[in-house]
Amino acid sequence: MKHVARKRFGQNFLTDKLVLDNIIDAIGPEKGQAMVEIGPGLAAMTALLLKRLDHMHVVELDRDLVARLENNFPREKLTIHSGDALKFDYGQIPVPEGQKLRVVGNLPYNISSPLLFHLAEFAHLIEDQHFMLQKEVVERMVAAPGSKVYGRLSVMLQWRYDMSLMFIVPPTAFDPPPQVESAIVRMVPTARKLACDGPTLEAVVMKAFSQRRKVIRNCVAGMFTEAQLIEAGIDPSTRPETVSLEQYVALSNLLKQPA
């Protein structure tokens, strides 16, 4: 029985065999590794991954798709977690000693940003992440200071990950085809994460980008003085999208200093 894609779940199923093969090659799964796929859908990628893995986990919200997965894959090959990826505890997945978890998925566009932030809480347990996302979102994730799309998502994710846009995927690779292009992003938790309090950095970045057309001095007024901006190496007359991750971290650390 054909499964009809559900708009409320943001379902667009990847069907292009060449694109699927390219994604699997980019991921490079190997036997013995612990891997979880978010939103396996009709399991096109799941089936290819399981050709190279002994076993894997999937997180799926759609109960009809869960039933399909249960019918199509033996339990010794696939562990199915029926639930919301936004609330799932990725730390519960067993990982062989000395290894970390690998995460993959064609992420629903309507929850991509909150899901990325939820996964960031588990970055210390993760080896790498490979995701299909809306191209515009990936471009924001990997944007450098000075780019028009550099913002909160860029800073907060670059604080935790080294990221790269792997390749573009056209709408024709999906059923139904989305209205936008997609892209594959590789995310590797950084080994040189700058020392900083995460919630403080988040508060600073949100404040800075709340009025991105204004200069940074005005954006963070009431949180930082002009002297503090200069102390962090920031020109008070510059705009928030030109301020580097290192400078935002420096600002955050000033805020956490005892009075």
Counting Cα atoms < 13 Å in the Cβ hemisphere of 50 gives 20
Q: How far is CA 53 from CA 71, 78, 84, in A?
A: 19, 10, 24
Q: Where do runs of H (alpha helix) occur along 10-92?
A: 17-27, 44-50, 63-72
Annotated binding site for S-adenosyl-L-methionine: 12, 14, 39, 60, 84, 106
Gap between the Cα atoms of 52 and 168, Å rounded:
24
Backbone angles phi, psi at 185, to 5 degrees: -120, 140
Q: Which residues contact 187 (CB under 8 A, 6 or more apart)?
A: 128, 129, 130, 131, 157, 161, 162, 163
Identify whether the C-beta of residue 65 lies closer than 8 Å to the C-beta of residue 85. Answer: no
Percent composition of the chain: helix, strand, coil (DSSP 3-state, to 5): 40, 20, 40
For residue 115, count other CB atoms closer than 10 A to its CB: 21
Gap between the Cα atoms of 226 and 128, Å rounded:
39
> Tokens in use for 95?
């990982």
Annotated binding site: 12, 14, 39, 60, 84, 106
Gap between the Cα atoms of 199 and 139, Å rounded:
24
